[in-house]
Structure 1
Amino acid sequence: MSLPPGFLDELRNRLSLGQVVGRKVMWDTRKSNQGKGDLWASCPFHQEKSASFHVDDRKGFYYCFGCHAKGDAISFVRETENVDFMEAVKILAAEAGMTVPDRDPRAQEKADARTVLVDVMEQAVQYHRLQLQTAAAADARDYLDRRGLSAEAQARWEIGFAPASGGVLEQMSAKGIDQKLIVAAGLAAESDRGSGLYNRFRDRIMFPIRDARGRAIGFGGRAMDPNHPAKYYNSPETALFDKGRSLYNHGPAREAAGKGKPLVVAEGYMDVIALSEAGFTATVAPLGTAITEDQLRLMWRMAPEPIIALDGDTAGLRAAMRVIDIALPLLEAGQSLRFALMPEGLDPDDLIKAQGAGAMQKLLDQAIPMVQLLWQRETEGRNFDSPERKAALDKVLREKIKLIQDPSIRSHYGQAIKDMRWALFSNRKAPIARKTGGAKWNPRQDPWKRDVSPVATSRSSALAAGTADQDHLREAVILATLIAVPAVMPEFETALEQMESRDPMHRDLQGCLLRHLGAKDLRALIVHEIGEAPLEKLFAQNHVAISPAIRRGGDPETARLCLAEEFAKLAARRGQAREIEDAVEDLGGVADEGLTWRLAQATAAVDQAGRGDNDDKAEYAIGANGARMKKEEKNAFELLIEQISFAKGRDRPKS
């Protein structure tokens, strides 16, 4: 007894031989080309030092140039696990998520029947090709000419024609072929009206569909009548043809992808033909249905990152979005999709005819990753002007990311979404370019304002120096606290995103924290990305070491209080700094040296008052902006503002 026909083919299609063999060997990275499925390792069947064991992952076969062992996934499991054929099949079926069917006592008979059906289909291919040359097919030939398909191209793709009457059913019956076989092949069907059999394909241009092994398994037919409700019509499900597990141009595309051509996924037969004729020979198409899980697996067997080339209209975009939802749970490391969206109103065939193959190549080169299209789907044309709308976006994206099974990919998707979210919602302002020299008066503005960035005078330098120094201390304490107590980081994610780190090392640490939010081994991840030195430098600073959150052994409650205060003070001081800069800018160049000296002294007092924030005995007050600050810091800041206000009042002429 044997397994049902087609089961082993499906099993081999679902599995990657590279993954099966990879559990037993270490690939030679210098000799292997993972992207092309060209893998080399030391042979697991005999002792050797060189990598003479070759796996062709695309074709599903291995061969050792030393001991001459060869076979497929089933034979590899049999030899390495020391099991019989059926046990090897069960092991692989479990890995592929398939159920092994009961052994069929009529399997050989069915296999023979499939062989007969293949022969029937081949005769149908030849019949339709001959019909394309008849007078009845004149309109079909004109259509193909208008689409730019030469006679040679028509022959390469075995394009044919099904006449409106007297078709393949009559021709094959006349040759003595059993009509049951013609029906079983999907070429004819029983009439619902009880009038006997009829041809499924009538008055249509015929595109043969072949499996990966080159066997004719079905047809796609394009109606010549422009008003026909079914423009394209495919063979029904048969013992040979399964639409959801087949691809148009599968075999040639697999061969081309193995030679390094990018795998392109188009929408229909004519797109595949146009792309292939233009040099994009690794092109396939689904067969009248949305892309299925099985078709995605077939594509990934051919190439790790197929490019989905869809029309730029609404229907094309909807199709792309459906592919995303199907693909997310199936993603694996090094296995994803990219999307090349055609200009609106054009399909690949139109684009090539209008602008040439170079325009198509440019679109393929610019294909966007799947995560970017996912983000675009959820954000394009929408307004996120309220916390509720932002929260709704976060919820939708979290639900999509949860579909990803691979934890590493899920983490990277989360970080990519977070980066795009940060870019969309961040209210950061671009840094002001510093200039040297005096202020330039602009008469078109308020005559008492100056069109200038803050100048590097002794006044602004003194103000900036104190603020920058304090900011650096606070940034260090914040980062060290989050690293020491990562459990509290989700509560301060937004504040950390909006923190403008001035120090490059701080920016690197900030980026690592945001990328690995919620990670268990946070320190190890940081060290892996930027090294040990930044961490050592951060925690070696005195003001970090005496911070209560660090001093008290990483207590979460202490860390929360410390972070809330440090973030508030950082925001307050930077708000004060901007206010002071604006005020100093208003002074222009008229302040005398005495005022400059008083401003510098007041700035120093603010700076000094802000030091020693970790002093538990300090007396605190609430500033005008709501941040807690030392009383002497508050008094010093008020003195500084008073000096500036005095200067502004003296500088401005009386009305």
Structure 2
Amino acid sequence: MSLPPGFLDELRNRVPISRVIGRKVVWDLRKSNQARGDWWAPCPFHQEKSASFHCDDQKGFYYCFGCQAKGDALTFLREMDGLEFIEAVKLLAAEAGMQMPEPDPRARERGDRRDRLLEVTEAACRWFRLQMQTGAAAEARDYLARRGMDRDTEDRFEIGFAPDSRTALTRALREKGLDEALIVESGMSARPDGGGAAYDRFRDRIIFPIRDGQGRCIGFGGRAMAAAARAKYLNSPETPLFDKGRNLYNLGPARAAVAKGQRLVVAEGYMDVIALVRAGFEAAVAPLGTAITEDQLRLMWRVSPEPVIALDGDAAGQHAARRLIDLALPLTGPGQALRFVVLPAGQDPDDLLKSAGAGAMRALLDQARPLVDLLWSRETEGQVLDSPERKAALDRRLQQAIARIPDDLTRRHYADEIRTKRRELFGGDWQKRRGGPAARRAGPGAAGQGPARRGGASMAPRAPRPSATVSTPQSGEWLLEGASLLICALRPELIPATESRLERLVPQDPDRGALLHDLLSGTDTAAGRRALETLRADAHLGLTPAVIESQDDAAATAILTNLLERLEAQRAAGTELVRAEAEIQGEADEGLTWRMQQTARARHRAERPDMEDSGDLNEDRDALSAQLESWLNGQIWRKPPRR
């Protein structure tokens, strides 16, 4: 539908965005400034306790500093309530007391034709329901009874029957005054390729009406009664009303159930959904006879941020679930996650509910596994990982999969989970590969070789050789990075506690990159050894071995963690400055201002770990101002205070 210029602006001006959002959140009145139309609340798009969700009546926009959700009142209605754009406009216009504009003639014609097609499908639905009560449907009624279906369930899901007649439905619809061309266009009938009278698409089948999110009958699914039928299940063809890859069975009732607190469960077929609903899991949906598509995934996420996929426990169901990984990874992120239920072998939700009851199904849903677990299982089950090459191939497959995740924070957490699982899989060799505490207790080496070595490095301070290339500090980052790598080489037992931070170092120097890889993977390369020798010979790091050797594990870990925190804070500061230069145009955006403040605070905390973070930005204003001033003046390296 085409809207005239200025209509949406007038709509937004008439209805304060806080009025629309206020129905879904509880405003934090201590932080909000009602007189200025400045509102704060916990974000409705993700679970949190702090008020990081900001709504500005003057600008007409909202923004969450936690999950980065943003938009106007129409965006909020679409994302929160799952409305289409025009539906959100109509809802807002009704609240504003504005008349919706008349559609253009072509849009009106398309809308009128769609309405006429809906008349055909609704009439067909009623006719199918009547046929279920005839003698021809006796076998169908017996089948439903054997599947545990009662009359109330049949009525709730409007289950009908298509008799084994070539033209019964087409004839009945024409007798109601409906045009045959519309009957064919709606998918209820088809014409022979060679010409002739239209014939019914659904014959001798139990019929399941398919309704969209607004409750309109857009198509049908039919289960064949004859065992020799060419297709056990048959859906309506693609029509102006029906696109099976963009709809879900039972969508409208499921969305209402999710709004009441139930979790969205995605089953495989019509009967599974009906069984789940009868057992009390009313937020159940199913794809329409195909593998889950990207459009269906997005539709699920508009209903719930974390649907539970409960496909059949047979090989085909498990294969479909694992195939879904590749579809979901490029789309996943905060507020768009998936969990998976692994059903017993050979069972679907209907079978499980009949054999074990709703309690067993609820227990499985409570134990649903995240997407990262399914990814790990897919890449490791049945694999023999008994060589460096096979382990490297596993790492490469996992890295390539994780690299497809667009959200940086989500991708980082996936990497952390994969590292944990990898350590569990190869756990017995972890400390051995890295020279853990056992290596520390091994005592001095062979006679004449000096103190024991960790990770191939002698523990005694070594004077630079005349031929050695002594690195000069290029910046504070260079020293922090070098000290961190040297400590890890000297005390490899500290690596597991700081591995996720080490993974994010990405040294610019190739030799340092090789050393980091050696430390994390337990390998030994010539480039890594060369980098270690250079670090040991660096005059600026000369006291590091003596200092770190004098500390116990807890103190040494604290030192290493602080070095890595300071390094991350300094690099983040540089990154934000580059982004700020690119983003600031005129008045600074509030999101950019917030990021700059948070980056400065992180750097301040890293450089002054002895100072307590009050949690109130106002109390740290002077310190933050000094940090920002020194930051902008290019004073990158700041030594920690003496204690």
Which TM-score bucket, shorter chain as reference? 0.5 to 0.7
Structure 1 CA distance, aligned partners of 2:196 and 2:209?
28
CA contact (8 A) 1:472 1:502 kept: no
Question: What letter is aligned with 2:225?
Answer: M
Give the drift of 1:306.
0.6
Tell me, yes or no, if structure 1 residue 190 matches structure 2 residue 199.
no
1:21-420 superposed matches below 5 A? 28-30=40-42, 32=44, 34=46, 42=55, 44=57, 57-60=79-82, 72=88, 105-165=105-165, 166-420=167-421
Structure 1 CA distance, aligned partners of 2:239 and 2:387?
54
Give the drift of 1:113.
0.8
Tell me, yes or no, if structure 1 residue 492 matches structure 2 residue 492.
no
Give the drift of 1:249.
0.6
CA RMSD for the aligned pairs? 4.8
Give the drift of 1:495.
4.5
- Gap change, CA 1:382 and 1:25, over 3 Å in 2: farther
Match in the other structure for 2:553: 503
- Structure 1 counterpart SS, 2:361: helix
CA contact (8 A) 1:476 1:506 kept: no
Give the drift of 1:512.
9.8
- Gap change, CA 1:131 and 1:46, over 3 Å in 2: same
Structure 2 CA distance, aligned partners of 1:373 and 1:512?
35
Q: Deviations over 1:368-389 (max 9, x none)?
A: 1101111111111101112221
Q: Deviations over 1:213-250 (max 9, x none)?
A: 00000000001112323111100111111111111111
Structure 2 CA distance, aligned partners of 1:250 and 1:41?
31
Structure 1 CA distance, aligned partners of 2:53 and 2:485?
48
CA contact (8 A) 1:310 1:316 kept: yes
Question: What letter is aligned with 2:487?
Answer: I
- Structure 2 counterpart SS, 1:218: strand
CA contact (8 A) 1:60 1:72 kept: no
CA contact (8 A) 1:27 1:39 kept: no
CA contact (8 A) 1:312 1:341 kept: yes
Gaps of 5+ in 2: 9-19, 26-35, 61-72, 433-437, 445-450, 462-482, 491-501, 523-550, 574-597, 612-635, 637-643
- Gap change, CA 1:35 and 1:237, over 3 Å in 2: farther
- Structure 1 counterpart SS, 2:81: coil
Q: Deviations over 1:87-139 (max 9, x none)?
A: xxxxxxxxxxxxxxxx9752211110111111111111111011111111111
- Gap change, CA 1:27 and 1:330, over 3 Å in 2: farther
1:609-628 superposed matches below 5 A? none
- Gap change, CA 1:309 and 1:172, over 3 Å in 2: same
Match in the other structure for 1:567: none
- Structure 2 counterpart SS, 1:414: helix
Match in the other structure for 2:467: none
Give the drift of 1:269.
0.6
1:538-549 superposed matches below 5 A? none
- Structure 1 counterpart SS, 2:263: coil
TM-score (norm 1): 0.60
Q: Deviations over 1:578-633 (max 9, x none)?
A: xxxxxxxxxxxxxxxxxxxxxxxxxxxxxxxxxxxxxxxxxxxxxxxxxxxxxxxx
Question: What letter is aligned with 1:123?
Answer: A
Match in the other structure for 2:487: 478
Structure 2 CA distance, aligned partners of 1:514 and 1:161?
68
Give the drift of 1:73.
6.5
TM-score (norm 2): 0.61
- Gap change, CA 1:509 and 1:197, over 3 Å in 2: farther
Give me the identity figure in percent.
48
Structure 2 CA distance, aligned partners of 1:207 and 1:425?
50
Structure 1 CA distance, aligned partners of 2:443 and 2:195?
98
Give the drift of 1:394.
1.9
- Structure 2 counterpart SS, 1:310: coil
Give the drift of 1:422.
2.6
Q: Deviations over 1:508-566 (max 9, x none)?
A: 777899999999838999x96996499889xxxxxxxxxxxxxxxx9xxxxxxxxxxxx
1:428-467 superposed matches below 5 A? 428=429
Rg larger in 1 or in 2?
1
Question: What letter is aligned with 1:153?
Answer: T
Structure 2 CA distance, aligned partners of 1:490 and 1:27?
47
Question: What letter is aligned with 1:390?
Answer: K
Match in the other structure for 1:632: none
Structure 1 CA distance, aligned partners of 2:137 and 2:37?
57
- Structure 1 counterpart SS, 2:158: coil
CA contact (8 A) 2:42 2:53 kept: no
Structure 1 CA distance, aligned partners of 2:516 and 2:246?
45
Tell me, yes or no, if structure 1 residue 521 matches structure 2 residue 571.
yes
CA contact (8 A) 2:442 2:452 kept: no
CA contact (8 A) 2:219 2:236 kept: yes
- Gap change, CA 1:512 and 1:290, over 3 Å in 2: farther
Structure 2 CA distance, aligned partners of 1:513 and 1:395?
29
Give the drift of 1:504.
3.6
- Structure 1 counterpart SS, 2:416: helix
Question: What letter is aligned with 1:250?
Answer: L
Structure 2 CA distance, aligned partners of 1:512 and 1:147?
63
- Gap change, CA 1:25 and 1:256, over 3 Å in 2: farther
Give the drift of 1:416.
1.9
Gaps of 5+ in 1: 9-16, 48-52, 63-69, 80-84, 87-102, 432-453, 455-459, 538-553, 555-655
Q: Deviations over 1:133-169 (max 9, x none)?
A: 1111111111111111111111101000000115311
CA contact (8 A) 1:61 1:71 kept: yes
Structure 2 CA distance, aligned partners of 1:178 and 1:301?
37
- Structure 2 counterpart SS, 1:247: coil
Question: What letter is aligned with 1:44?
Answer: D
- Gap change, CA 1:258 and 1:381, over 3 Å in 2: same
Structure 2 CA distance, aligned partners of 1:184 and 1:210?
17
- Structure 2 counterpart SS, 1:176: coil
- Gap change, CA 1:149 and 1:247, over 3 Å in 2: same
Match in the other structure for 2:583: none
CA contact (8 A) 1:486 1:518 kept: no
Q: Deviations over 1:391-429 (max 9, x none)?
A: 222222222122111222222222222222232234437
CA contact (8 A) 1:508 1:530 kept: no
CA contact (8 A) 1:479 1:509 kept: no
- Gap change, CA 1:320 and 1:46, over 3 Å in 2: closer
- Gap change, CA 1:71 and 1:181, over 3 Å in 2: closer
When structure 1 is superposed on structure 2, of 489-498 and 413-422 the one drifting more is: 489-498
